[in-house]
């Protein structure tokens, strides 16, 4: 019961904030343009500062565990490859169903599906869950270091290669798509924030106290703005229409990926806090940044927004079930 309570306490407040965004849009207090501005603010400012803060305030040198970080990185890479291959095969037979002008097609469906299937809310919800269990966790920053940079690099490449075609776009070869994706990686504010935070941590560079406080203040904007943006852009009828894809992403994120890699972590000898961190990394709900980045790359964002909401609801049960199983087996 205690595990169920803390899981609900960690996830349901996020759902409530999304619901608040939907309500504010419905009653006309905010409009579509304001939602788009929130998306840009989160993507270009708040989220990069949050990830910079996570790296900057961590002493990477003393806390580094290469084996744990390596497992997180390998599990992340294999998860991304698996959902890309699986999503491509699953959508191969859907050609022509969404091909009319102005409607999402197979290519952009794949971009949103893959991103929502592997990219968890590590920096926000994952850290919160670990804090609920252990008070403070040395594994949380290492979990972020081993997965979040790869999450964002892959998201930039996938979203760029699968981005909706524009009327003024030239015919794009795979080489040009890859070039655009790599350019997006190099200029992505999220990735730049992670790199800058790692450099400052490794160099043990310290800003004056007022700058540290300012960084923390800006970081605190990320979660509420991201969740409100999802609510502002959430389209109920369209979401129901894409429920098959967002549901598939939810199953992959909360059940399939943890079921594959958590037993592998057990076999490799991870126990206690490290094993819980791996479970949370693999089974945390899709990050609200999925929606924000999809919108910034020209997608409708319906699949992303729906997957975020569904995984938030489902994670309260799936993460709790995972913890109960591990405790029953005496592994944590």
Range of the domain at 259: 2-328
Q: How many structural domains is the chain composed of?
A: 1
As a whole number, the mean pLDDT across the chain is 83
What does DSSP assign to residue 103? S
What pLDDT sits at residue 110? 93
Q: What percent of the chain has pLDDT over 70?
A: 83
Q: How far from 102 is each of 70, 98, 106, 167, 232, CA to CA, in Å? A: 43, 9, 13, 11, 21
The dihedral formed by the CA atoms of 233, 236, 240 and 245, expressed in degrees to the nearest 10 = 10
**Pick from 269-273, 275-279, 291-295: least confident:** 291-295
What is the Cβ-side half-sphere exposure of residue 50, based on CA atoms within 13 angstroms?
25
Question: Is residue 311 a contact partner of residue 279, using CB atoms and an 8 Å limit?
Answer: no
Percent of the chain surpassing pLDDT 90: 29
pLDDT value of position 102 = 39
What does the pLDDT average to over 163-187?
65
Q: What CATH number did the domain enclosing 233 receive?
A: 1.20.1530.20
At residue 4 the predicted structure's pLDDT band, cuts being 50, 70 and 90, is: low
Q: State pTM to two decimals.
A: 0.78
- The two structure tokens encoding residue 286: 């899709």
Q: What is the pLDDT of residues 94-104, one digit of tens each?
A: 654 444 443 44
Structure tokens at 319: 């993460």
pLDDT-derived band at 231, boundaries 50, 70, 90: confident
Residue 324 pLDDT = 83
Q: Give helix 272-283 / helix 127-134 axis angle, nearest 10°.
A: 150
Q: Report pLDDT for 58.
A: 80
Mean pLDDT of 297-318: 87
* For range 135-162, the mean pLDDT: 83
pLDDT tens profile 238-272: 666 678 899 999 999 999 999 999 999 999 999 98
Query: What local confidence, expressed as pLDDT, does residue 136 receive?
Result: 59
Mean pLDDT over 196-220 rounds to 91
């Amino acid at each position: 019961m205690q595990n169920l309570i803390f899981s609900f306490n960690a996830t349901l407040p996020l759902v409530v904030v999304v619901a608040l965004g939907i309500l504010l849009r419905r009653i006309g207090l905010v409009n579509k343009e304001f939602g788009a501005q929130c998306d840009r603010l989160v993507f270009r400012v708040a989220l990069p500062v949050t990830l910079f803060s996570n790296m900057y305030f961590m002493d990477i040198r003393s806390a580094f565990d290469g084996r744990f970080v390596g497992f997180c990185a390998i599990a992340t890479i294999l998860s991304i490859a698996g959902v890309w291959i699986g999503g491509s095969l699953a959508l191969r037979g859907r050609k022509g169903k969404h091909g009319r002008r102005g409607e999402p097609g197979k290519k952009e469906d794949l971009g949103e599906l893959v991103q929502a299937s592997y990219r968890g809310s590590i920096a926000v919800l994952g850290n919160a869950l670990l804090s609920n269990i252990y008070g403070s966790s040395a594994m949380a920053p290492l979990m972020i270091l081993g997965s979040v940079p790869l999450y964002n690099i892959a998201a930039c490449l996938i979203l760029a290669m699968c981005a909706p075609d524009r009327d003024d776009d030239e015919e794009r070869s795979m080489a040009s798509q890859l070039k655009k994706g790599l350019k997006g990686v190099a200029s992505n504010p999220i990735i730049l924030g992670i790199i800058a935070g790692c450099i400052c941590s490794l160099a043990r560079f310290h800003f004056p106290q007022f700058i540290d406080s300012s960084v923390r203040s800006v970081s605190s904007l990320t979660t509420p703005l991201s969740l409100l943006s999802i609510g502002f852009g959430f389209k109920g009828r369209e979401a129901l229409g894409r429920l098959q894809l967002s549901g598939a992403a939810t199953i992959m994120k909360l059940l399939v990926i943890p079921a594959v890699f958590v037993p592998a972590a057990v076999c490799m000898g991870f126990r206690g806090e490290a094993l819980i961190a791996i479970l949370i990394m693999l089974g945390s709900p899709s990050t609200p940044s999925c929606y924000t980045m999809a919108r910034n790359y020209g997608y409708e964002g319906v699949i992303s927004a729906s997957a975020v909401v569904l995984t938030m609801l489902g994670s309260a049960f799936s993460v709790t079930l995972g913890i109960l199983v591990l405790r029953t087996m005496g592994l944590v």
